[in-house]
Amino acid sequence: MKFELPGLPYAIDALAPIISKETVEFHYGKHFQTYVNNLNNLIQGSKFENANLDIIVRDSEGAIYNNAAQVWNHDLYFKSFSPTPKNEPSGDLLNAIIKSFGSFGEFKEEFSKVAIALFGSGWVWLYKKSDGALAISQESNAGNPIHSKSGTPLIACDVWEHTYYLDYQNKRADYIKNYWNILDWKTIEASF
């Protein structure tokens, strides 16, 4: 199976000023594309050559896993944004957030703290556990709850420096604060 860079659901400059056109060009157009290219090269002749992305992320290790997970992670990350987002969850997802974290505000505060505190590069996730409860995890590098079999990812927050450095330099906290302003809960609710 050959993987391709998925299209963006918005114009390349639509998230500005929160995420600039230059950052999207660099992050999506270069980093994400490199992971796709690497994955295609690495799976040739391997047992994953004809596997879907979820299986590769769940069952692979090493370079194949790192590139497959980065493809999966970036796809969710970029598809979760909108220039006109629904800014808060509702219905079953909101109820699950309240049950797991106390309130939507408490969830955002906890998620933000975890994202700011992650040392080095990685991802922060809101995911649904097998028992239906929601949890936040902090994963280094390409870490993904599918691989650790922790649960089903709902939100991906990329905290690799290339994600925010052009727009925020070393101010990860400012990036995280603004992340919430483009996160589209309508898209997240559709996968819940």
pLDDT tens digit sequence for 81-134: 999 999 999 999 999 999 999 999 999 999 999 999 999 999 999 999 989 899
pLDDT tens digit sequence for 34-93: 999 999 999 999 999 999 999 999 999 999 999 999 999 999 999 999 999 999 999 999
- CA 109 vs. chain centroid, Å, equals 18
Domain ranges of the chain: 21-79, 91-190
pLDDT tens digit sequence for 20-30: 999 999 999 99
pTM of the model: 0.95
Q: Does domain 21-79 have CATH number 1.10.287.990?
A: yes
DSSP-assigned letters across all residues of the chain: ----PPPPSS-TTTTTTTS-HHHHHHIIIIIIHHHHHHHHHHHTTSTTTT--HHHHHHH--HHHHHHHHHHHHHHHHHHTB-SS---S--HHHHHHHHHHHSSHHHHHHHHHHHHHH--SSEEEEEEE-TTS-EEEEEEETT--TTTTT--EEEEEEE-SHHHHHHHHTT-HHHHHHHHTTTB-HHHHHHT-
Amino acid in position 185: W
Fold of 91-190: minor pseudopilin epsh fold (3.55.40)
